[in-house]
Amino acid sequence: MTSLSRRLLLVAGIGCIASRPAFAQGIDIGRAAAFIQATGQELVAAINANAPVAQRRQVVAGILRRAVDVEGVGRFILGRHWRAATPEQQAEYMRLFEEVLIRNLSARFGEYQGVRFALGRTQARTEEDVLVNTVIQQPNGPPFGLDWRVADVGGQPRVVDVIAEGTSLRLTTRSEYSSVISRNGGNVGPLLAAMRNQIQQLAAREGA
């Protein structure tokens, strides 16, 4: 696995997450930085906790639901295919999407044990969002930078994208999902099946 692939997997649970997020408004730079600082500390504490994997997964799930604009990111990733999906498929997709985010992180708790982070530069990216840089320090690898896009969504700061070495996670995931759907004649069903299979594989890896 390449270095970039490992780094993308590290943050896949925090926002496979570039257009304007739904209901996004301008956000203060200081508020965005403080939000990422607090969220990062919560995640690191949960990952490094001396607790069973299932318990840590529940804690991480709560953090991600508060920190990430799951609905906005999920709909962006599905793109034009969202309108082609039935209401039942849309509901299942959002449920599976959230589970994929959580399982992607919890299945790799062992790899990330001892991880730390430090806040870097924060700057306004557009009128709607702010880019917060962090440096991730791994116990068994060199440090690397991650950029977090933060926007005001419904009055609260939310992560709307994570960028590793210039690669947007939500754009990468959008391309992958679109490819699956396109190969199946525009049918969303095979994507949902692939997501269910991915969750099963991650759960098996986690030992849950």
Beta strand 144-153 with 156-164 is antiparallel
Helix (H) or strand (E) run with residue 70 in it:
helix 70-78
Blockwise average pLDDT, block size 10, the chain, 208 residues: 41 42 63 95 92 93 95 96 96 97 88 88 85 89 90 93 91 96 96 96 83
pLDDT (0 to 100) of residue 82: 96
Distances (CA, A) of 8 to 12, 49, 76, 170: 6, 22, 18, 11
For residue 128, give the DSSP letter: S
CA distance 202 to 60: 15
Specify whether the CB–CB gap between 100 and 77 falls below 8 A: no
Specify whether the CB–CB gap between 47 and 113 falls below 8 A: yes
125-159 per-residue burial string, b: 16 or more CB within 10 A, e: under 16 = beebbbbbbbebebeeeeebebbbbbbbbeeebbb
CA distance 118 to 15: 19
**pLDDT tens-digit series, residues 45-102:** 999 999 999 999 999 999 999 999 999 999 999 999 999 999 999 999 999 999 999 9
Taken in order of first residue, the domains within the chain and their CATH numbers are 3-201 (3.10.450.710)
pLDDT (0 to 100) of residue 171: 95
